[in-house]
Structure 1
Amino acid sequence: MIIGDLLPPPVVAVDFFGDPEDAVLLPEEEEHVAKAVDKRRREFTTGRHLARTALGRLGFGPVPLLPGEKRAPRWPEGVVGSITHCKGYRAAAVGRTSQVWTIGIDAEPNEPTPDGVLGAIAVPGELAHLPRLRATGDHVAWDRLLFSAKESVYKAWFPLTGLWLGFEDAEVIVDPDGTFTARVLIDAPVVDGVRVDGFTGRWLARDGFVVSAIAVPAR
């Protein structure tokens, strides 16, 4: 287990290195990926399989988890969650809305981002901070971790607000101690009486991956 080590007890997390042989889709989900290429189909199938496993541990029966707006999974009423997948690793995390306000998780290979990616995703404050991170050691692909943390921020943000958040719309500062903070740079909406202007999260590097996670307790 990687992702579970980053999340608090109210959140149920399940992960897998690769694709389990018993992972299957429900009929409604089959229709959604009927024309998908093999890579996309395997990612989708394992992600839904892990999410249903996690939901089962919360007491929910099998339900189809179809993509909604911006491809975010549509969870059963009373549930928040997040799914991530990269080559060799898949994970899902869910929680009850009575205990968790929002969840965002992301996993990436622990290797540098391709040429041009960092410049496309990082804001000036993040670029200025990266040399300090690199000075602590090369055991972490810090640019890839930044990308992962920003993905987790979006996955936590969108279900709450229903609004797009571009890479340039949030500044994420990663700390070598395994935490990160995110500050939203656009006009932040108020949700349930709370201004959604930032998040705190946790990260780790293990088994060839960098993984980030956000879980905000229910208000």
Structure 2
Amino acid sequence: MMEKIVGPDVVAVDTRAELTGVVLFPGERAEIANAVAKRREEYTTARACARQAMEKLGLPPSPITRGPRGEPIWPEGVIGSITHCSGYRAAVLGRAGEVTTLGIDAEPNGPLPEGVLETISLPAERAWIRRLSATRPGVAWDRLLFSAKESVYKAWYPLARRWLDFSEAMIGLDPSDGRFRARLLVPGPEVEGERLTEFSGRWLAEDGLVLTAIVVPSRESNVDR
């Protein structure tokens, strides 16, 4: 599913099943040594997806441990993102020099718990959620907003190395073409000589899930084409 929205610059691997027989590296095993079974399954299957993506990129399997904010630490030369929710795991990877950053997220296509929307959204975002919920009830638009903001953060953090609050990015979403934009409301990092001011992404609602993805190709990669 994820490959439908990430484009040609990256490799996507996902699964609806837990993968068995996955061998973890020592550092990975240490990170989940005391985790409950559900967390171990999420962690292990997501890394299996990531290593399959590495193989598709022609790279050897490598450990993927976590940084100080829980972000995946990728091997040198790899740009990647991982997501997991109930019944779904995915990893998307690209090569540094071809991709500047990326972020993906998956969520169940159901409403957010009571009170969560107010804590993760801006007034303008709640306005379009109300409008779309009334006219297009097949998508949990509040959950899609949450997913988009998660993808924004995952794309932001490797560049800025600092927290981005839910209130610091404004999401504008097109319900017809599966695209969204995230306008940064705080100064962004400088990327390839230019100040980052927004992200563009794509979304998909399918098979009981909402998926979002942001892939920022490198400027050099675009010039080569």
Q: TM-score range by the shorter chain?
A: over 0.9
Percent identity over the alignment is: 54
Give 3-state SS (helix, strand or coil) of 1:69's partner: coil
Note if 1:123 corresponds to 2:122.
yes
Query: Shift in Å at residue 48 of structure 1?
Result: 0.9
Note if 1:181 corresponds to 2:181.
yes
8 Å Cα contact 1:18/1:87 also seen in 2: no
Q: Size of the alignment, in residue pairs?
A: 218
Offset from partner CA, 1:170-216 (integer Å, 9 cap, x none): 11112102110001111222133121221010001011000000001
Note if 1:204 corresponds to 2:199.
no
Q: Which moved more, 1:205-214 or 1:181-190?
A: 181-190
Offset from partner CA, 1:1-41 (integer Å, 9 cap, x none): x1010011120000000311233322220011101111111
Query: Shift in Å at residue 135 of structure 1?
Result: 3.5
Give distance in 2, aligned partners of 1:136 and 1:96.
40
Aligned to 1:85: 84
Give 3-state SS (helix, strand or coil) of 1:130's partner: helix
The normalised TM-score by structure 1 is 0.96
Report matched runs for 1:24-173 at 5 Å.
24-173=23-172
Any stretches of 5+ residues in structure 2 without a counterpart? 220-225
Give 3-state SS (helix, strand or coil) of 1:71's partner: coil
Give distance in 2, aligned partners of 1:199 and 1:26.
34
Give distance in 1, aligned partners of 2:20 and 2:79.
26
Q: Which moved more, 1:57-66 or 1:123-132?
A: 123-132
Give distance in 2, aligned partners of 1:188 and 1:86.
29
8 Å Cα contact 1:158/1:164 also seen in 2: yes
Query: Shift in Å at residue 68 of structure 1?
Result: 1.2
Give 3-state SS (helix, strand or coil) of 1:132's partner: helix
Give distance in 2, aligned partners of 1:174 and 1:24.
40
Instruction: List 4+ stretches of structure 1 deviating above 6 A.
Output: none
Output the amino acid matched with 2:202: R
Q: Which moved more, 1:186-195 or 1:169-178?
A: 186-195
8 Å Cα contact 2:100/2:216 also seen in 1: yes
